[in-house]
Amino acid sequence: MPDTHDSSSAPEKQRSAAGSDQPRGVGGPLSGVRIVDMSSVVMGPFATMIMADLGAEVIKVEFDRGKVPGDMMRYAGYSPDGKRGPIYMALNRGKKAVTIDASSDEGKAQLTNLLKDADVFFHNVRLAGMKRLGLDYDGVRAIKPDIIYTHCAGYGAGGPYSKRQAYDDLVQAASGFAALEAERSGGDPAYAPSLIADKTVGLFATYATLAALFHRERTGEGQFVSVPMFESFTFFNMVENLYGATFASGNGKLAYTRSVNPRRRPYPTKDGYIAIVPYIDAQWERFFEIGGRPGVFDDPRFSTYEARTQNTGELYAIIEEVASTKTTDEWVIILAEEQIPAMRYNSMEDVLADPHLEAVNFFESRQDDVLGEYRSMQHPVGFSVSPARAGEVPPAMGQDNAILDKD
Percent of the chain with pLDDT over 70: 93
Domains and CATH numbers, the chain: 12-238+363-405 (3.40.50.10540), 267-344 (3.30.1540.10)
State whether residue 48 is helix, strand or coil: helix
**pLDDT at residue 180 greater than cutoff 60:** yes
Helices (H) and strands (E) in the chain, counts: 16, 11
Instruction: Please say if the pLDDT value at position 181 is more than 50.
Output: yes
- Across 98-127, average pLDDT: 96
> Which alpha helices (H) appear in 220-290, and where do they start and end?
229-241, 281-290
Nearest to 252 by CA among 241, 262, 239: 241
Highest mean pLDDT among 101-105, 170-174, 279-283, 288-292: 170-174
What sign for the dihedral angle of Cα 191, 78, 126, 30? Answer: negative
Whether the per-residue pLDDT at 12 is higher than 70: the answer is no
pLDDT mean over 230-259: 96
The torsion region of residue 338 among left (phi > 0), alpha (psi -120 to 50) and beta comes to alpha
Residues 340, 287 contacting (CB under 8 angstroms): yes
Q: What is the pLDDT of residue 78?
A: 97
* Model confidence at 259: pLDDT above 80: yes
CA distance 395 to 71: 12
**Percent share of the chain, pLDDT over 90:** 83
Q: Is 58 exposed, middle or buried (0-12, 13-18, 19+ CB in 10 A)?
A: buried
Say what the pLDDT of residue 356 is.
Answer: 97
**Separation of alpha carbons 216 and 286, rounded Å:** 53
Question: Are 98 and 111 spatial neighbours (Cβ–Cβ below 8 Å)?
Answer: no
Q: What is the mean pLDDT of residues 355-381?
A: 97
The burial class, CB within 10 Å (0-12 / 13-18 / 19+), for 345 is middle
pLDDT at 25 over 50: no
Question: Can you tell me the distance from the alpha carbon of 362 to that of 345, in angstroms, rounded to the nearest whole number?
Answer: 18
The mean of the pLDDT values for the chain is 92
Per mean pLDDT, which of 1-5, 18-22, 31-35 is the most reliable? 31-35
- 252 CB-contact burial (10 Å; exposed 0-12 / middle 13-18 / buried 19+): exposed
- DSSP strand pairing (273-276 vs 267-268): antiparallel
Residue 23 has pLDDT above 80, yes or no: no
pLDDT band at 7 (very low <50, low <70, confident <90, very high): low
Confidence of residue 5 (pLDDT cuts 50, 70, 90): low
